[in-house]
Amino acid sequence: MLAALRCVIHRDLLLATRRSSDVLTVLLFFVIVVSLFPLGIGPDPELLRTIAPGVVWVAALLASMLALNRMFAADHADGTLEQMLLGATPLGMTVAAKVFAHWLISGLPLVLISPVLAIQFDFPQELLGVLALSLALGTPVLSLIGAIGAALTLGLRGGGALLSLLVLPLYVPVLIIGAGAAESAASGLGGDAQLLLLGALLVFAGAFAPWAAAVALRVSVE
């Protein structure tokens, strides 16, 4: 079974590297959205420092949502998904592997570039690690929850806008706790509590979301 999962991950990563512009688009979207905020709000460093974690988090949330459409769409279009549904590997495990691959492609780059963007906001350097760590724990949760939404809206008209309507309310806890980690670290309280909560959310979502997404896939492909 592990071989099958490795195969799924390897295949998705290979497909992504062959069409690397898709990956870059999401990353550039993230960078641009974050850079727009100072233009809209004004360059006051004091203000920017306060809103930095929130802005980075909201932008990461939107960027990861933008990438969700692609999680199952191509496999659905060429029939691979049906083979996965019929295959011997438990569908929940296959979904988990796909979500992991999807996170490597669309979530991890955001985590890696987030410190650079936070510096633009004059965010204290010693806290960049907390921000990146909160994103590293939080973006997989976004991918996991998003997988359910992507599976439910598979092949529907108006998929993108509908997907955001379904998924964004469910993202709220991750956003609150994730942005809260760096904020409370900046205010001197330390972000440990939020990071632990994010870890708990990740474990919880990792256990249940692939399974729910598998049910949703069966409903959608039926």
Q: Which residues bind another protein (CB under 8 A)?
A: 148, 152-153, 156-158, 162, 165-166, 168-170, 172-173, 176-177, 180, 184, 201, 208, 212, 215-216, 219-220, 222
Give me the least distance between CB of 47 and another protein, in Å please: 16
DSSP letter at 87 equals: S
Give whichever of 113 and 201 is closer to another protein, judged by the CB atom.
201
Q: Is 190 helix (H, G, I), strand (E, B) or coil?
A: coil
Give whichever of 113 and 216 is closer to another protein, judged by the CB atom.
216
Cα(83)–Cα(145) distance, integer angstroms: 23
Give me the least distance between CB of 187 and another protein, in Å please: 9
- Calculate ∠ Cα 82-167-71, nearest 5°: 35
Burial code (b: 16+ CB inside 10 Å, e: under 16) for 164-185 equals beebbebbeebbebbbbbbbbb
Give me the least distance between CB of 148 and another protein, in Å please: 6
Give whichever of 113 and 186 is closer to another protein, judged by the CB atom.
186
Query: Angle, nearest 10°, between helix axes 192-221 and 159-186?
Result: 170
Give whichever of 105 and 177 is closer to another protein, judged by the CB atom.
177
Give me the least distance between CB of 135 and another protein, in Å please: 17
